[in-house]
Amino acid sequence: MNTSDSGYAIFRAVFAPARMREIRDALKSVDLHRTKAGMRHVLRVRAVQALATEPDLLSLAVQFLNDRPIPFRATLFDKSATSNWLVAWHQDTTLPLSGRVADPAWGPWTVKGGVLHANAPADTLEKIVALRVHLEDSAESNGPLRVLPGTHAAGVLSHDAIQRAAASVRPVDCVASAGGVVAMRPLVVHASSKSTDDRARRVLHIEYAVSVHIAPGVELAVG
């Protein structure tokens, strides 16, 4: 698959299902705040840190970043029959930062989970890739990630431009079995439907950059 053109890629059977069970078990007893959608800051969990830096994942991130990747943020998305939601078409434009900068290209500024965040410019977001490690099977019926291929190439889009893309670009459901990985660039327009069955769909969304110094005077908050 041409990752530079599509903005996403699906990698099958990167990890054994048994390894995914180990990660699920490790996350059960984690003392982190849970929301309806899952948990933030799971890169602080030792088992997730170990997974995020394994050669099998780093080699996938290199295909997008062309340099040695560093994981800086991980989020658990936990969708099930009892915790079900949909996400409208959007781009991921917000990054966690260690401090404010005066550059008007950054912002607006918010605080999420005690960490400072800001919307980033397109040239910075192009330096990031997310690897979504499937802890359980993902299918069309349990609310998988959906992407609009190639839309990352247009930069940061307005709400109206995103709606036009959703009406004109054929979406792709990114399904994978437990142990599979979906890679995506932050600016590829994506969404997620509600699950229509009772199978859980837990995914680790791990984000990588080649340096925490992501732009002049701008440093990513890691964790």
The answer to whether residues 69 and 58 touch, using CB atoms and an 8 Å cutoff, is: yes
pLDDT grade, residue 84 (50/70/90)?
Answer: low
Amino acid at 159: H
Q: How confident is the model at residue 3, as a pLDDT?
A: 43
Average pLDDT of the residues in 87-112: 95
CA dihedral of residues 131, 95, 171, 141 (deg, nearest 10): 60
Q: How confident is the model at residue 81, as a pLDDT?
A: 59
Answer yes or no: is pLDDT of 4 > 50.
Answer: no
Lowest mean pLDDT among 6-10, 84-88, 109-113: 84-88
Q: How confident is the model at residue 80, as a pLDDT?
A: 66
C-alpha R_g of the chain: 17
Where do the domains of the chain lie, and which CATH numbers do they carry?
3-219 (2.60.120.620)
Average pLDDT of the residues in 8-25: 96
pLDDT in tens, 36-83: 778 999 999 999 999 999 999 999 999 999 899 999 999 999 876 567
Q: How confident is the model at residue 82, as a pLDDT?
A: 67
**Does the bond joining 108 to the residue before it have cis omega, within 30 degrees of 0?**
yes
pLDDT in tens, 134-170: 999 988 877 799 999 999 999 999 999 999 999 999 9
pLDDT in tens, 164-208: 999 999 999 999 999 999 999 999 999 998 776 777 789 999 999
The answer to whether residues 94 and 156 touch, using CB atoms and an 8 Å cutoff, is: no
- The 10 Å Cβ neighbour count of residue 203 is 24
Query: Of 126, 120, 130, which Cα lies nearest the Cα of 153?
Result: 126
